[in-house]
Amino acid sequence: MSAARMDPAAALEGHASAWRTRVKPALRVAFWGALFAAIVAAGALGRRGTLGARLGALSIVLAVLAVFVARWLVERRSLERRDRLVRRLILSEDRLLGEKVLRALALKERAEVDPSVGSSELATVHLERTLARIPPELVAGRGERVARRFRSAALALSVAGAVGVGVDPPRTIEGLDVLVARHGVAPLDMVWLEGMTLVVQPPPYLRIPEHHLDPQGAAAPQGSLLVVRGTPVRSGRRLVLSDGTREVPFATDGSEGVVARFPLERDVTLRVAARFGDVLVREPLPMPVQAVPDAVPLVVLEGAPRQVELERIDRLDLSYVAADDHGLREIDLVLRSGGREERRVLEKLDGQSRVEQGAQGLDVNDTFLRRMFLPVAVTIEARDNDVLEGGRWGASAAITIVPPAVGALEAERFKLLAEARGGLVDFLAWLVEPPAGADPKALEQELGPRRTATAKALKSATERRPGGQPVPSGLASFLRGQARRLEDGQPKGAAANARAEEVVLAVDGAVRALAMRDAQTVAKRLGDAAEEAADGYAEAQNPEKTKHGTERATVALGVLDIGAENLLALEGLGGDLGSVTRGELRRIRRAVGEKSYLHAELAARHLAARLRRPTPSFAAAGGGVEGGRHGASHEPSDAPSQADKRFDELAQELGDLTREHAALLDQVERELEDAGNAAKTDDLRREAAEHAEALREAVRDLPRSGAREGSGRAAAGLARDHAQAMAERLERLDLSAAAESGRTARGLVDEAQKKTLAPETSSDLTDPGALERARAAVEKELAWVEQAREAVERNARERVKNSLNEAAERERSIERRLGEMSGRASQSEASLPESALEQLGKARGAMKSASSELAQGHGEQGLQAQREAQRLLEQGGSERTTEDSNAQQRETHEGSRRGGNGMQTRAQVPGADDQHRALEFRKRVLEGLGQERGGRLDPAVRRYAEGLLE
Amino acid sequence: MRRLALVLAAVSLAVTAAASTPPPARTISDAITEIDLERARHLLEVTTGDATALALERARLSIYAGDCDAAQAQLSSPTLTESKEGASLAALAKSCARATAAGFVMEDREHGITLRLQDDADRVLAPYLFRTAARARDAVAADVGIELIKPLRIDVVRDLFSLSAVSGLPLTAAETTGTLAVARWGRVIFLSPRATPLGFPWQDTLAHEITHLVVTRASRDRAPLWLQEGVAKREETRWRAARPFDDPTWADVLARNAFFAGRSVGLDKLGPSIAMLPTPEAATTAFAEVSSFVKFWLGEVGPSALELLLLDLRATGGDSADPALKSVSGYDLGEWNALWRQNLRETPPRDPREEVERPAPIKDGLKFSRGTRLGDLLLDRGHAEAARREYRGALEAAPSEPSVHWRLARAGLLVGDTAGFRAALGPRDKLRGADGGWLALESRALREDGRTAEAAEASEHALALEPYLEDVACEGAVRATGGSAPLPADADRRALCESARTPPP
């Protein structure tokens, strides 16, 4: 009995085992099939590359795994407990039997814990019998059916997956590659292009042809275009060329290939890649390319860096060489001072030249330099032809020009003139209060030498160049005139020291007037320095620029300090403005001390505005209102000397007279020319043409020029040329020139005849008949020319007779007025220098002569004398004390240098007593004579040159 | 009786004023005009309303307080500068900020005076400025019956350019008429005596401007120009004792002469300011006329009428002062003008014998100027004896000119001719006016004679004219160019003397 009994647990395990045996293999197959299909699906979805797609793809695979894991857990749980096993394997197949088994199981379990239910053994037996009724095919059959379903599913999924892969296998790989990408780059590199080439196209301005590059590593000029070409391995991919940060898409090249152009701006490592959404799948091989930058032009300025003082140079010669690796486009001269900059284009180039060499002069009177108060850094800067960045500038080292301190020249000049004035005052003191107990006779003897020495000292002061600048020409002339007055001694009947007093006051007035003008000029320039300081402090208010701004302002304050000192030296207005400047500088520094750059800027701007309005601190004609000055003391209001004003009036009158005389001279010239032209009638012109033709015919047999120099044939050839020139001039009715050519031709014919008669070589031999015919013709035409000239002149004289009479009268009138002015200039307090008076005297003589000749109808002679008079007038005249022809010449020079039209039309010719200026002027004129060819100034220059040659 | 009248008037005006409450911005504006800046500040804190108007008042208050920086910032908004008033205020704030930035500020707490110096070199004058300002303010307040709220603000500027920048007075107008000081924006804006080569009566000028502030406060700036200037001219010397060369009749004489010569300007034709009249001569005549008129008017109605008139003007305002004038004195301006002119006509001319005794005028201007300049040049070169000769020549041409007497006396001292020095100074009554240098040397002579009180007065008088003239600053201690001389004992005077001899770098 017991042997026939079956253990219930074993019985149930047997059914479970039968189930597993059938279902588990099928389930495994189904799992792999599902996983395969899921991966293929995930690849297809993940290939889109977006985050959502990639998450979706991953979810598919995970879902399959989850399903199967869940299934396995459920299965295991179901088979672990007997009741569940019964329910899963038996109840679902045979409900009645299953319920019986379940009841039997329950009875057995209750009986084991509760004896009141019944015998445990009996319950066990009941269970065994019930289990025994379960037919073995029941569980096996069910297991077989389930396994069949799994196998079918596995087959279907495997087929689907295989189809997915089979259609385009790389898609799945790409998809899976994309799926596992990190930081946007897929881990598995793939080949995208075949037959790939890398070509570089350098920037056009470099003029380098395009060429292939080694993809394994190469260099190319910065700014080049890198062109990658190839044929896609697989179509339908979005191919790009990427350096890791920038991508350029490939575009079709019109056939089967694709092309991408990548601008090379820096060193890059390029890769061809396919873009899938956010993910790149790259080619395996990188293409490193080094970007070679366009070098900045190299500029070398000869002698730089160095520092020069403006006072010590007349001109700064700048020699430079500029070089660039590809080509130069422009070369500039750059001047920088403080916050100011001026660029002057020296050369505009076509970008082809790689090396340029040049030289440029910078004149000491350059406007920029003259206006600067801070050191000026002079550099040469060159721009290359890099069009990508608008050209790169290379700069040379700087030559720093240190300008003189603002007002230093003016202060030094004032000191010199004040010292000269002091000498006069000392002389006056000696006159007014001679040394006590001195012998009157000895004093009398000493007077002359003292007076001469004082006058000489005054004249010498006008010839000196304080600070390298001459005393203004007008003032110098005035001071020399005063020196002459002093030397002239005491007028009869005047007090012993009257003349000395007049001269002292005259000189004092002029010197003070100059000091006032200088103070105004200096103050205006200091205004610029104050503005620079204000700009510096404005900059300093920006915390990032505080250091630079304060440094800039500190330099400007230094300039103001020295400028104020120089202003103070100028006394009068200068002293006032200098005092104001010092006070304002203290105010600025107070603000700086409190780190209030805003206040420092405000104070500096106020100072700049004040200095640009260089008037006295208090100026009122009536002496002030508010709390008035009733009964207050008066200072003298009359100017102690009017000499400088009278001098200026005289200079003005002389200038007007000189211009009037020049106009008269022009008029006479024009009238004589017109009269001469009118006398050249058409009949004369026809006759002259006939004579010209006859002359040409007569010299036709002479040899042509070209024979050995110095030979008889050469002389004959030249004679032929001159005869033909005479013929041409005859046709133009230029009778004077025709006569001159004729005389030359005649001389040459004579020379040729001599050499023919006594030949030294064969070159001396010429046809004697031809020479004779030529000589006779030339002689004949010369005679005719002389006759014609006389007739023309006679005719012209008749025509211009009345006009010349009028001109003579006007010449006399001008001469009389000049006489009156010369009288004033020699006797009044507005005295001209000796040399000027002498020239004016000579000018009067020439005017008298001109007047006489013109009155007699001798136009040419009169004109000659007028020209002489004009030259002397120009030498003898003077500028006003407020004028400075040196400065005007400097400005004109500067104007013309900068392309301006700065024609000086009021240039004064310095007299001989102003040796320094005369020498300078002479040098300039002689230089000019070598260059000048005609033009408006030609007659004036010729007149002066004639004077120089005297 | 006078007090009772004042009280009654005050009560009636207060009742009238209370009947019509002004708008808030107007109240603030009035407080600023009256230089009651604390009250204005408080009102601005508690008042709401028209934001633009209040912002403008805030900026105006800053300018009155001398804080032009703040005013400039407050006026930076385009909405404020759209209006004419705003634009003009902004321009003033800008120029004022530039001229006053980092000014040197000194305070006299005891007297309640704040001094702002554009040029700190003027600090040596500060003790004298403080003393003068305090005395003048108290004297004017006593005369006008109203006190200025402390502190009294004084800006000392270095030149007319800065005076124009700080005050807003057009520079050309200031230059034409020679304006020395302006009372504007609640403070005195005052030209440093350093700016004028010959100095100027700066103490009287300061008193004059302080009077303007007091009258402005008393009348809420409603006093007509003739009254403002007339009272200021009256008060400019009343704060101090009489001095030599003070001429109490100058205004009447000048006004009378102008009246008969047809050069009269007219009380009602003064324009916006005497400083803006076309010529300095017109300005001088105008000052004489308003001075003479106010003197006449106060002589007729009594000094208390001024206080009443200002009170009336303050409370009632209006375009014309006639109602207030009529209410206080019974006649309007036209009627008073006629009475004054009648009085001028009837005033007998000066005794012809006076002409003989009066100091001689300049006989030969050219000789005077030549002699003076030559003497100066000679003296500068150390030729004092020769300079004396030239000065003597100048003196012949201008025997009553104190500046020549001073020069001659000074040269005498330099050559050691004491007798010549005293002779050159000459008697005071033979001089045609006051001169700082001459007074300084007279003070020295008096001191040497043991007449210390008179010497101190002369020295003070000299200081009131040309404080920076070395002889004045150093109390007549004359020295040759580059030489040395003793310093004054008084510390303030010593500082002034040292500054005159060696200007600060």
- SS3 for A540-562, per residue? HCCHHHHHHHHHHHHHHHHHHHH
Q: What is the mean pLDDT of the segment spanning B320-346? A: 89
Express each pLDDT in A134-152 by its tens digit. Answer: 887 888 888 888 889 988 9
Check residues B198 and A516 and name the one with the higher pLDDT: A516
Tens-digit pLDDT profile for residues A213-243: 888 888 888 888 999 999 998 888 899 999 9
If 0-12 CB within 10 Å is exposed, 13-18 middle and 19+ buried, where does residue A934 land?
A: exposed
Domain ranges of chain A: 8-172, 181-292, 298-402, 408-611, 680-799, 884-896+903-950
Contact map slice: A 632-651 vs B, CB within 8 A: 632-641
pLDDT tens digits for range A480-510: 999 988 888 666 666 668 889 999 999 999 9
Q: pTM, whole model, 2 decimals?
A: 0.70
Superfamily per CATH, domain A181-292: Immunoglobulins (2.60.40.10)
CB contact under 8 A, B101 and A591: yes
Partner B contacted by A600 (CB < 8 A): yes
> How many A/B residue pairs have CB atoms within 8 Å?
235
CATH class, range B104-349 = mainly alpha
Q: According to the model, what pLDDT value does residue B14 have?
A: 47
CA A551 to each of CA A242, A334, A538, A542, A869: distance values in angstroms, whole numbers, following the listed order:
49, 22, 12, 14, 61
Tell me how close the Cα of A475 comes to any Cα of chain B, in angstroms: 20
Return the exposure string of A484-514: e unless at least 16 CB atoms fall within 10 Å of the residue's CB, then b: bbbbbeeeeeeeebebbbbbbbbbbbbbbbb
**Position A887 pLDDT exceeds 90:** no
Cα(A652)–Cα(A646) distance, integer angstroms: 10
The mean per-residue pLDDT over the stretch A315-326 comes to 90
Distances (CA, A) of A694 to A507, A742, A749, A788: 73, 13, 17, 16
Interface of A with B in 550-589 (CB under 8 A): 576, 579-580, 582-584, 586-588
Which residues of chain B from 341 to 400 reach within 8 Å of chain A, CB to CB?
Answer: 362, 365-366, 368-370, 372-374, 377-378, 380-381, 383, 385-386, 389-390
Q: At a CB cut-off of 8 Å and minimum separation 6, what does B405 contact?
A: B395, B424, B425, B426, B431, B435, B438
Interface mutation target, options A430, A502, A596, A618, chain B, most CBs of B under 10 Å: A618
**How much is the ipTM here?**
0.92
Measure the CA–CA gap between B18 and A581, rounded to whole angstroms.
Answer: 54
Nearest-angstrom CA–CA distance, B436 and A103: 143
Cα–Cα–Cα angle for A210, A215, A219, rounded to 5 degrees: 60
Tens of pLDDT along A823-853?
887 777 777 877 788 888 899 999 999 999 9
Whole-number average pLDDT of chain B: 88
For residue A636, give the nearest of B200, B372, B385 by CB distance: B372
Residue count of chain A: 950
Give the pLDDT confidence score for residue A949 in this predicted structure.
47
Most confident by average pLDDT, A3-17, A699-713, B36-50:
B36-50
- Residue among A428, A626, A636 whose CB faces B205 most closely: A626
Place of tokens 């409370």: B315
Nearest CB neighbour to A618, from listed B191, B247, B504: B191
Among A602, A621, A628, the residue with its CB nearest the CB of B98 is A602
Length of chain B (residues): 505
Contact of B238 with chain A, judged by CB distance below 8 Å, is answered with: no
Nearest chain B CA: its distance from A640 CA (Å): 4
Distance, in angstroms, between B103 CA and closest chain A CA? 6
A590 shares contact with chain B (CB less than 8 Å): yes
Give the residue-averaged pLDDT of B240-254: 88
**Which residues on B lie below 8 Å from A624 (Cβ)?**
178-180, 196, 200, 280
Q: Could A584 and B159 be called an inter-chain contact, meaning their C-beta atoms sit closer than 8 Å?
A: no
Q: Residue B220 phi/psi, 5° resolution?
A: 55, 40
Q: pLDDT band for A906, please (50, 70, 90 cuts).
A: very low
Flag whether residue B181 sits within 8 Å of chain A, measured between CB atoms. yes
How is the beta sheet containing A251-252 ordered, strand by strand? A211-212, A193-201, A225-232, A258-263, A251-252
Of the partner residues A580, A619, A627, the one whose CB lies closest to the CB of residue B236: A627
Cis peptide before B244 (omega within 30 of 0): no
CB contact under 8 A, B119 and A584: yes
C-alpha distances in angstroms, A53 versus A61, A171, A178, A767? Answer: 13, 15, 10, 116
Residue of B289, B291, B293 lying closest to B266 (CA atoms): B289
Distance, CA of A416 to CA of A409 (rounded, Å): 11
Which tens digit of pLDDT belongs to each residue from B275-327?
778 887 888 899 899 999 999 999 999 888 999 999 999 887 777 888 898 88
Q: Do the two domains A181-292 and A298-402 of this chain adopt the same fold?
A: yes
Question: What residue in B sits closest to A632 (Cα-Cα)?
Answer: B433
Which pairs with CB-CB distance under 8 Å and at least 24 residues apart come from A78-84? A79/A16, A79/A19, A79/A20, A82/A8, A82/A9, A82/A12
Q: B-chain residues within 8 Å CB-CB of A635?
A: 197-198, 372, 403
DSSP string, A915-940: HHHHHHHHHHHHHHHHH--SSTTHHH
Phi, psi (deg, nearest 5) at residue A680:
-85, 90
**Chain A residue closest in CA terms to B372:** A636
Give the residue ranges of DSSP H helices in B158-201: 160-167, 171-177
Among A388-392, B110-114, B169-173, where is mean pLDDT lowest? A388-392
Each residue's pLDDT tens digit, B118-165: 999 999 999 999 999 999 999 999 998 899 999 999 999 999 999 999
Q: Which of the given ranges, A71-85, A184-198, A413-427, A728-742, has the highest pLDDT on average?
A: A413-427
**Which range among A775-784, A869-878, A926-935 has the greatest average pLDDT?**
A775-784
* A620: contact with B, CB 8 A cutoff: yes
Whole-number pLDDT of residue A746: 93
- Which among B101, B119, B403 has the least Cβ separation from residue A633? B403
Higher pLDDT, B360 or B365: B365
The verdict on A896 touching B (C-beta cutoff 8 Å) is no
Compare CB distances from A606 to B99, B194, B401 and report the shortest one's residue: B99
Q: Chain A within 8 Å of B244 (Cβ-Cβ)?
A: no
Query: For A85-111, what is each residue's pLDDT tens digit?
Result: 888 788 877 888 888 888 888 888 888
Between CA B238 and CA B250 the distance in angstroms is: 15
- Interchain contact, A632 vs B434, CB within 8 Å: yes
> Which of B481-496 are b and which e, b meaning 16 or more Cβ less than 10 Å from the residue's Cβ?
eeeebebbeeeebbbb
- Tell which wins on pLDDT, A859 or A370: A859
B161 contacts on A by Cβ (under 8 Å): 609-610, 613, 615, 617
- From chain B residues 182-201, the ones with a CB under 8 A of any chain A CB are 182, 191, 194-198, 200-201
Structure token digits, residue A647? 């001098």
Choosing among B104, B159, B396, which should be mutated to test the A contact, i.e. which has the most A CBs within 10 A?
A: B159
Q: Tell me if B180 and A425 make a contact (CB, 8 A cut-off).
A: no
Q: How far is B109 from chain A (nearest CA, A)?
A: 23
| Architecture label for domain B365-501 | Alpha Horseshoe (1.25)
A580/B372 CB distance under 8 A: no
Task: Tell me, yes or no, if B280 comes closer than 8 A to chain A by beta carbon.
Answer: yes
A:411-430 residues touching chain B, CB 8 A cutoff: 421-422, 425-426, 428-429
Indicate the class that CATH gives domain A298-402. Answer: mainly beta
**Residue-level pLDDT at A45:** 87
A 490-549 residues with CB < 8 A to B:
501, 504-505, 508
Q: For chain A, what is the largest distance between any 2 Cα atoms, rounded to a whole number of angstroms?
A: 188
User: Model confidence at A946, in pLDDT bands (50, 70, 90)?
Assistant: low
Which of B274, B276, B381 is most worth mutating to test chain A (most A CB atoms within 10 A of its CB)? B381
Across the interface, whether the CB atoms of B372 and A640 are under 8 A apart is answered yes
What's the pLDDT score for residue A622? Answer: 46
- Which pLDDT does position A630 carry in this prediction? 47
- The pLDDT assigned to A833 comes to 79
Task: Among A588, A630, A641, pick the best mutation site for testing chain B contact (most B Cβ within 10 A).
Answer: A630
Q: Which two tokens stand for residue A80?
A: 């672990």
Predicted confidence at residue A386, as pLDDT, reads 78
Out of B160, B389, B433, whose CB is closest to A432? Answer: B389
A633-689 pLDDT tens trace: 556 667 788 888 888 888 888 888 999 999 999 998 888 888 877 777 888 889 999
Across B334-373, b (16+ Cβ under 10 Å) vs e yields: eebbeebbebbeeeeeeeeeeeeeeeeebeebebbbbbbb
Helices (H), A570-642: 572-593, 597-611
Cβ of A587 and B366 within 8 Å? Answer: no
CB count in 10 Å sphere of residue B263: 12
pLDDT, one tens digit per residue, over A339-394 is 788 999 999 988 888 899 999 888 888 888 877 788 899 999 999 887 767 788 99
